[in-house]
Amino acid sequence: MSDIKKVVLAYSGGLDTSVIVRWLQDTYNCEVVTFTADIGQGEEVEPARAKAEALGVKEIYIEDLREEFVRDYVFPMFRANTIYEGEYLLGTSIARPLIAKRLIDIANETGADAISHGATGKGNDQVRFELGAYALKPGVKVIAPWREWDLNSREKLLKYCEERNIPVEMKKGKSPYSMDANLLHISYEGINLEDPWAEAEEDMWRWSVSPEAAPDEPTYVELTYKKGDIVAIDGQDMKPHVVLETLNKLAGANGIGRLDIVENRYVGMKSRGCYETPGGTIMLRAHRAIESITLDREVAHLKDSIMPRYAEVIYNGYWWSPEREALQALIDQTQNYVNGTVRLKLYKGNVDVVGRKSEDSLFDEKIATFEEDQGAYDQKDAEGFIKLNALRLRIAAGKGRKL
């Protein structure tokens, strides 16, 4: 007999997690608590309640976490200008630590013995969920059905539902792709995308028009920053999640934010995926622009040097780790003077920075000017600077060393 009496399941209400509810009940003879998070996936989450009730679930958690998601996870990540392998804006990765945190919170509140998730044994998400869970509750039991059962195809899952009278909602027009969505992005995997040579079909994309179909006139937008975070759009103050919602609409309408990449998963395989990150694409470009006039050169270069490590930490699931906390402390300290406004032009898939201003700007027009600088900069100083920096090169060349 199982020693597991109660399990908290990350529950979407879809086919996989509905099967998991019944499978947990049958396999472990346990009570299941479901947790459904609204992190801006664009679909109603409340219907998950009725589905869970139909499966005999008594404790059902459905929570709107959009503001917390953007404020405490997305914004801190963007302070670092974070991209993985030069392209990926980590839309799926950054949502997992919040879900893991709430799974553990709910397990503690309900006295559950274990948590469970619907991530497969091939992907990164199993790692992210479980690393987060173990960091927050070291002794927690994690049940990952995809690593235990033999229901490894859609046909087997549907047969399981039929045999146990589990209602399956067959949505008309449902995407054939494996998709994950939140306020930061939507991802697509599977079907023809498993061939890296095959071009993604136009009707796959959900959040953006194609650049060719975008308006023929540009859209201008101004973003106001305070300590590295966007606090207003076109002068209107907004909460973090409203900022991202607004930018998603602006960018998507202008064909911005599509990405097609092959990435290296933490578990070892390469994976081809397509992503829409419209608002995030704007945020990355604008944040670098405001930093360009407010950050000290060496601080900016230090940030750039640690960013790939920070991106790997998040991608691999180590948000709740001492190294991420240490990196975050450094990054956040650099943002004290990252204040001001950036003006952007959005046009047919492009985001162009056309203006930036800040009361904390380090750009000194008197020094940088090509006109008369009134003695603000003595050009003769450059001679000694160059000779000192060339000293090691001159010594090596004088010794006859070849490059």
178 among known catalytic residues: yes
User: What does the DSSP 8-state code read for residue 118?
Assistant: -
40: tokens are 């801006």
392 among known catalytic residues: no
Backbone angles phi and psi of 124, in degrees to 5: -80, -30
Euclidean distance between CA atoms 350 and 282, whole angstroms: 9
Q: Does 18 count as an annotated binding residue?
A: yes
Of 96, 258, 272, 356, which residue is the catalytic one? 96
Euclidean distance between CA atoms 237 and 230, whole angstroms: 9
Backbone Cα Rg of the chain: 25
| pLDDT tens digits along 234-268 | 999 999 999 999 999 999 999 999 999 999 999 99
Q: Does 263 count as an annotated binding residue?
A: yes
CB-based contact 52:277 (threshold 8 Å) = no
At 106, the pLDDT band (50, 70, 90 cuts) reads very high
Q: Which residues pair with 143 in a beta bridge?
A: 116
Q: Is the confidence at residue 174, as pLDDT, over 80?
A: no
Q: Does 118 count as an annotated binding residue?
A: yes
96 among known catalytic residues: yes
| pLDDT tens digits along 128-154 | 999 999 999 999 999 999 999 999 887
Q: Which residues pair with 60 in a beta bridge?
A: 34
Euclidean distance between CA atoms 196 and 262, whole angstroms: 8
Of 178, 271, 292, 361, which residue is the catalytic one? 178
Q: What is the percentage of the chain residues whose pLDDT exceeds 70?
A: 98
Which domains does the chain carry?
Answer: 6-66+94-163 (3.40.50.620), 178-295+334-357 (3.90.1260.10)
154 among known catalytic residues: no
Q: Does 14 count as an annotated binding residue?
A: yes
Q: Does 187 count as an annotated binding residue?
A: yes
Euclidean distance between CA atoms 289 and 355, whole angstroms: 9
Of 22, 38, 113, 125, which residue is the catalytic one? 125
Euclidean distance between CA atoms 306 and 336, whole angstroms: 18
**CB-hemisphere CA count at 13 Å for 22?**
21
Prediction pTM value: 0.94
Q: Does 73 count as an annotated binding residue?
A: no
